[in-house]
Amino acid sequence: MFDLVIVTAANEAQAKGYRAQLEGRSNHLVIPDPGDVRVGSLGATVNALRVVKEMALNPHSILIVHSGGDARRTPGYAAMGKAFVPMRDGRPMLDHIVEAMEKLPLPADGGVVVASGDVLPGFDYGAVDFSRPGVTGVAYPDSAEEARRHGVYIVDDASAPAPRLETVKSFVQKPAVEGGMHLIDTGIMFIDFPTAFLMRSLPVAGDIYDEFPAMLLDGFAPFSVSIMPECTFFHIGSTRELLEKLGDGRAYVDCANCELALGGRNVVTNIPRGRFKRLDLAEGECFTCIPYGRGRWLDVRYHIDDNFKSDGRWEEYDLGRIMKNVDYKRLLRLRSRAGRRPEVLRVEAPVRIDFAGGWSDTPPICNIEGGTVMNAAVTLEGEKPIQVVVSRRKDKFVGIVSKDLGKRRLVKSAAELADHHDPSDWCALVKSALAVTGFEFGSEGLDIVIYAGLPKGSGMGTSSILGAATIAALLGRVDTAEICELTLRLEKEMSTGGGWQDQFGGVVGGAKLLVSQPGETQQIAVEKLDSTWFASLLKERGLLYFTGQKRMARNILRKVLSFYEANPHDFAKILVASLKRDALAAADAVKRRDAKAFAAAVNGYWRDKKLLDSGSTNERIEELEALAAPYASAITLTGAGGGGFMFILAKSRRDARCIRRLFEDHAPTSFARFYDFALDESGLKIVCREF
């Protein structure tokens, strides 16, 4: 362990922020460049050594971590500094750098280690040799391509086996080499105390990786390099790298206290509670908030490829001034909640009506053909019928309650939690959601209450949407791509299978066209449709009727997939292509506000489903169809078929009333009934977050 860890800063304002984030660490010292003027990494090192002397400190070992950059290319953390970017374990990058440097074998007399605050090298730290006097760098062999981007050590024999210690003959920055292996600088430098004492007399200026090697080669002190056989680097040089290395490639969300609708490749950081009810970001859009001055917030909306270094964005937001006025108390108060699960978090979601294209979204069909679905999120009886509440328990158990089933269970072991592969087990969905979100039994206690305010086997995507809502409640955020992908994994954990349209149908509000391309990994393009006309059409002529017949979608789906695999006379593939055309036609009809064309697309879809599997319908369903036929423009079942909800588009408002009377007089079961429904534009959302 180092006796003293020094973190350098560009100015006193930045140093103030670093000190706030390091509060309580007695062996950490933040030292700004003198006079609030950037002096370079050599100047900052010299200044730090002078301050240690002035403070009459006498540490046996010192680590100097240079962190005086503006972090312009990662604006989401510019106020905090790159050294304080939270890693996957929630701790700042600085902690990982310090822990790594503590593995270096320092000489008995101690000394000073210099490292960068935005790079974490990875190599066999125990094999490093700092035994020679003077200054020793650390390098590893790599290609000419890497050499052209970094500092390179020159020794007598660069190809000799490593690890080894060599005298440095020369040091060059980004040489124009064409081939061969070259010794790349890792950015780590060891300085023994006699040399460190001499450095205090140097000018406070210059770069420790440029001017200082030249001084050493001119005789200021002995110069060696400890050569490692290999090295990796963890470096976050840009917003895109932040997304790729700490996110999942689709989104990176840290401390965002609002509902999010993300288009993909989004980075969202530091959004205070109550500033936004909902934040919509298109593909590639990023967002951060910076507290400054007296109670003010700066909202920064930017693109993932904006670098804020040469494109004028830094100046556009006046960030040079803002960074000197950051309110770190508010920033850290906001971030203190980032790692905490709320005491209570409540999620609500609509269900979905599948108007056309269903089954084309189901693997392996979508992997081979690509999927195309037109569906819409809807409320029932004026409410979002899917609800999940997650709250913390004082013990380490997991309580699961299903309000609609009237059942409860207390999970008291990791083995019981891992038993989630039986879809007939009413707890399997919640246990699978815990599995795919990475919950570790014993880490904390949770109570999870689920509720679905509509009949099971309804054909409204209930199970998938309930799974998505549970995942969102456990994650504490609404990231469409992440939630929908995890829901697919949840269904695999439960062994139920299924496609992607249900979760997208409920998570994303309104009417939309969902399209994927063939491929093992399904990336879903979501086209929101203008719902004004469509909502009016459904309100005037749309009917939603629960037939009273429940069915298991997976049973029908298995038959469909078997038929698709057999593909007699290429008929199954022809029908799948027709399903996708139906969806495109339905979406186009909504865009053109053409009720007749929309009805034709829905009818075509229902016809194709029955051709793919005759079990999609049955005698009771056909009796209802016959009753409604004189008054209906379109009829379909909202799910796989065999029962559940029936959607009817009447020819007119008057015809809708006629269908209601007929069905009420000829109800097939005592459970059959009409449900009032309406388009839901907001989709899945967090409606309560209490800390």
Looking at the predicted structure, is the pLDDT value of residue 421 above 80? no
**Confidence at residue 549, expressed as pLDDT on a 0 to 100 scale:** 80
Strands 164-167 and 223-227 come out as antiparallel
State the Cα–Cα distance between residues 649 and 640, nearest whole angstrom. Answer: 19
Q: Which residues of the chain are in CATH 3.30.70.890 domains?
A: 533-679
> 533-679: what fold?
Alpha-Beta Plaits (3.30.70)
> What tens digit of pLDDT does each residue of 653-668 get?
999 999 999 999 998 8
Pick the closest to residue 424 from 452, 456, 449 (CA basis).
456
Residue type for position 16: K
Domain with CATH 3.90.550 in the chain: 4-235
In angstroms, the CA 575 to CA 571 distance is 6
Output the CA angle 80-86-90, nearest 5 degrees: 135
Q: Sign of torsion, CA 398 402 405 407?
A: positive
Q: What are phi and psi of 47, to 5 degrees?
A: -60, -40
In the numeric block, which tokens belong to residue 118? 């935005």
Pairing between strand 111-116 and 181-191? antiparallel
What does pLDDT average to over the chain?
A: 92
The more confident residue out of 451 and 572 is 451
- Report the pLDDT value the prediction gives residue 511, as an integer from 0 to 100: 97
Work out the average pLDDT over 40-59.
95
pLDDT at site 204: 95
* Helix or strand run (H / E) with residue 635: strand 632-637
- Cβ(262)–Cβ(281) below 8 Å: yes
| Least confident residue range of 156-170, 381-395, 415-429 | 415-429
Residue 556: its pLDDT value, please?
67
Q: Which range, of 96-100, 157-161, 647-651, averages the lowest pLDDT?
A: 157-161
Q: Which amino acid is at 655?
A: D
Alpha helices in 521-677 (DSSP H): 531-541, 553-566, 571-592, 595-612, 619-628, 653-665
Find how far residue 10's CA is from the centre of its chain: 31
**Confidence tier at 567 by pLDDT (50, 70, 90):** confident
Q: What are phi and psi of 372, to 5 degrees?
A: -145, 120
**Confidence (pLDDT) at 374:** 98
Please return the burial class of 25, using the count of CB atoms within 10 Å of its CB with bins 0-12, 13-18 and 19+: middle
Q: Assess if CATH 1.10.3470 describes domain 4-235.
A: no
pLDDT digits (tens, 9 = 90+) for 498-508: 789 999 999 99
Place of tokens 């420790």: 208
User: Which of 35-49, 483-497, 589-603, 663-677 is predicted with the least confidence, judged by mean pLDDT?
Assistant: 483-497
- Lowest-confidence pick of 270-279, 465-474, 591-600: 270-279
User: DSSP 3-state assignment of 244?
Assistant: helix
